[in-house]
Amino acid sequence: MLPGHGLAMLRTRVCELFAIEHPILNAPMGGGDAPAELAAAVSEAGGLGMIGGTTIGGVDWLVEQIRIARELTDRPFGVGFISHFPQTSLLMEAALAAGVRIVAHSFADPAPFMPAARDAGARVLCQVRTVADAQRAAAAGVDVVTAQGTEAGGHTGHVSTLPLVPRVVDAVAPTPVIAAGGIADGRGIAAALMLGAEGVWLGTRFLTTSESGVSDRYKARVIEATGDDTVLTDVFDIVAGRPWPEGVSGRAIRNRFSQRWVGHEDELRAWAAEHGDEHRALGPDAEVDEQAIWAGEAAGFVTEMTSAGEVVHSLVAQADAVLRERAALVLRG
């Protein structure tokens, strides 16, 4: 064992940058999956809570979420966007006007969003899936780059976290990099730090917390799933009629819908033209079989529903222990 102390702690450059204790962020999952309650709970536990700002509720929903989060915590939190969707500028400007000083962009060139963020004195993160996109984000002057591996749930790219993160670190240095995708316990966090990441961004791990916005059926399905049960596919986007940038697909838990359509995308396009509206109108009973249960390969680590605060505390304690024990073990020679 390395010399220890009583209090588990991970300190990196992003702790200072965001004025937080632990370099752990919840992913700002869209569609209401990462609401004010989740962001506030993560921030209260010493991480950086993120509200997913892209929902059908638009600006009004987001402003209300920011108000709720501020009632729940005095600590910093941020808002993240699916930035190739329309209205991202409007949403970001509303968040900045409401006093938010940390914003995250994803799935788009962050350059057009930088002037307004800078004018407000906000910190900007940008999530990327390739080295080329990381370089574009660094050139735009973002404060932090999030490198997202293909393991991630929801929309992601095709390169895995382990080989992606060090290459992004090298490509954007000295800009700090945060790792996303496939991380859900202290071992994953310790590994990400070894790859050169200064923090971690977790979606699936926070989806099953009591504060996340997904339904209890959804949470139960993620808890049941193993890491082998996910599929990276366009079928849910095809039936939703929502286009995503080249090289991006969605990772979801295999279900009746994906079993039927993966590998038959052309046929699905024809089917969706006729039955898309009907499919989109299916009620909550059909959710887990017919709709996208977005989740990453980290689903294999999620075995119970806990609070987001407990998740942050246990991740920090585990990562601290792993770093001390494993580093000492392998270097004892």
Binding site for its own copies (CB under 8 A): 2, 7, 9-12, 130-132, 149-151, 158-164, 166-167, 181-185, 187-188, 190-196, 226-228, 296-298, 300-301, 320, 322-324, 326-327, 329-333
Choice between 214 and 298, CB closer to its own copies: 298
What six digits make up the tokens of 209? 């917390």
Question: Is residue 311 within 8 Å of residue 26, measured between CB atoms?
Answer: no
- CB burial of 104-127 (b: ≥16 within 10 Å; e: otherwise) equals bbbbbbbeebbeebeebebbbbbb
User: Measured between alpha carbons, how far is 130 from 171 in angstroms, rounded to an integer?
Assistant: 10
CB of 100 to its own copies, least distance (A): 27
**Which one, 100 or 177, has the nearer CB to its own copies?**
177
Helix (H, G, I), strand (E, B) or coil at 329: helix
Which amino acid does the sequence have at 139?
A
Minimum CB separation from its own copies for residue 273, in Å? Answer: 21
| Residue 60: strand pairing partners | none
Please identify, using beta-carbon distances, which residue of 55 and 148 lies nearer to its own copies.
Answer: 148
Give one DSSP letter per residue of 67-102, joined into a string: HHHHHH-SS-EEEE--TTSTTHHHHHHHHHHTT--E
Q: Where are the alpha helices (DSSP H) in 209-307?
A: 216-224, 235-240, 256-261, 265-280, 287-290
End-to-end CA distance of the chain: 13
Contact 287, 154 (CB under 8 A): no
The candidate with the shortest Cα–Cα distance to 308, out of 15, 76, 9, 40, is 40
310 φ, ψ (degrees, to nearest 5): -60, -40
By beta-carbon proximity to its own copies, the closer residue of 190 and 288 is 190
Q: Identify the residue whose tokens are 């660094």.
A: 138
Work out how close the CB of 285 gets to its own copies at its nearest, in angstroms, rounded to a whole number.
Answer: 30
